[in-house]
Amino acid sequence: MNWEETPDERDFRHEVRAFARERFPVGYGPDPEAEHSLEPEDVWGYDWPADRLSRDPARRAGARAWAAALAERGWIAPGWPVEYGGAGLSAMREFILREEMMRAGVPTVNGIGAMLLGPTLLEYGTEEQRAAHLPGIARGETTWAQGFSEPGAGSDLASLRTRAVCAGPGSGSYLVNGQKVWTSSAQYADWLFVLVRTDPEAPKHKGITFLLIDASSPGVAIRPVQDMRGATPFAEIFFDDVSVPVANRVGAENQGWYVAMAALGFERAGIGATVKFEQVLSRLVGCLRSEKEPGCPGRDTAVLRHEIAQRYIELRTQYNLARHTASQLEAVGIPGHEASVSQLFGAELHQRLARTGAKAFGPYAQLWQRDGAPMEAAFAHMRFDAVAATLLGGTTEIQRRVIATRGLKLPKS
């Protein structure tokens, strides 16, 4: 790949910076009470799916105005074709757009729908499904959540038990029963894309189907799950005889595993976490150099400086991995094992960075309340985020398996 930006790409980067500066709604700021999102594409302090439905009129108006501004240019789904509401940008331009939006500190809009479901429907969906769902996502009007994980099927996703059976001869629908868990922002979603088992007798990877389910359907119950910080970034979903039209099936029956793997590949191809980590490490250095922050003076040791320098090197490595993934996506249309390399490296870097911050603040790293804590206890909260980093979007074991079998062509264990 060419590591140098072209003149056109540099011009586009300046265009994005100007847009974010001029069009981001005045007054739509981060929620000081919001916990850090676990989603790498989300800017800390914002929760766009929740803000869109907020009881605070100013926050709700700000979220919707920002979505409308992005939709004018097709920048909610920048890589999609124009006829579905996208901007038809190349993968590298989309990479630049998302990087600059993160650097500007403005939230991603409709991330799961635009970055996971949309590309999946473009690859595997029917024309009717694309026409029905893509424009609403691109306008910021409908939001989606991904229902893959289950109580008994986390990293071993193919062990899922949520069942879908034919509702009856001539019914043209499935009946879905079961439970999903750890579904990000499901309580704010209009629609769900889920994996269900349609053939319990088939090998576990070959009896799964990918369905689109209206979250307001009778029999769907969504309950937020509170994490150990008291935040509710996830939800559990229960399906009780939920009727789903066969027309909502993506791909062939019992072939949903392959559709899901494509969706997860798009999830792993992001840039957001890299920028977020760069910003927090820069803040850490600034804090250590300040004599005003509690807990910072006296921690600036040679050992700590060496560790921070190591994190910077790793962050640049992570950036180049993400850029390489974007170049591969531009070349072949779907992410390959390169996305798993980037996901694996970024997840483990997340945990190392959290430990570096904890070392920097010594006993102050135990402070949970933000008032009076160095960097408003950002690293204390980051350490809690980092616990799940090697589980989200596929565990590190799964990523290593993808790299070994698809990238290095090693035999399956």
Question: Tokens standing for 28?
Answer: 């739509």
Mean pLDDT to the nearest integer, 352-381: 86
Mean pLDDT to the nearest integer, 253-266: 86
Catalytic machinery residues: 267
pLDDT at residue 195 greater than cutoff 70 = yes
Give the side-chain half-sphere CA count within 13 A for 276.
29
Mean pLDDT to the nearest integer, 2-7: 83
Mean pLDDT to the nearest integer, 263-277: 74
- Chain-centroid distance of CA 273 in Å reads 9
For residue 271, the tally of other CB atoms under 10 A from its CB is 27
Per-residue pLDDT of 110-119, as tens digits, reads 888 998 899 9
Name the nearest CA neighbour of 104 among 5, 15, 4.
Answer: 15
Pairs from 372-375 (Cβ < 8 Å, separation ≥ 24): 372/294, 373/294, 373/295, 374/287, 374/293, 374/294, 374/295, 374/296, 375/283, 375/284, 375/287, 375/293
Q: Check residue 275 and give its pLDDT.
A: 87
Q: Check residue 296 and give its pLDDT.
A: 58
Q: Check residue 35 and give its pLDDT.
A: 65
CA-to-CA dists, residue 9 to 45, 95, 184, 409, angstroms: 29, 10, 33, 34
Mean pLDDT to the nearest integer, 66-78: 96
pLDDT at residue 367 greater than cutoff 60 = yes
Report residue 224: phi and psi, to 5°: -60, 145
CA-to-CA dists, residue 274 to 41, 90, 144, 177, 405, angstroms: 9, 20, 24, 38, 26
Average pLDDT of the chain is: 88
CA-to-CA dists, residue 107 to 104, 119, 182, angstroms: 9, 20, 22
CA-to-CA dists, residue 238 to 214, 299, 318, angstroms: 13, 49, 37
DSSP 334: S
Confidence class for position 78, pLDDT limits 50, 70, 90 = very high
Mean pLDDT to the nearest integer, 223-228: 87
Least-confidence region, from 155-159, 211-215, 317-321, 406-410? 155-159
Question: Tokens standing for 197?
Answer: 């088992």
Least-confidence region, from 89-103, 176-190, 232-246, 284-298? 284-298
Least-confidence region, from 27-31, 234-238, 401-405? 27-31
pLDDT at residue 70 greater than cutoff 90 = yes
Cβ–Cβ < 8 Å for 374, 294: yes
Name the nearest CA neighbour of 180 among 239, 133, 132.
Answer: 239
Q: Check residue 155 and give its pLDDT.
A: 65
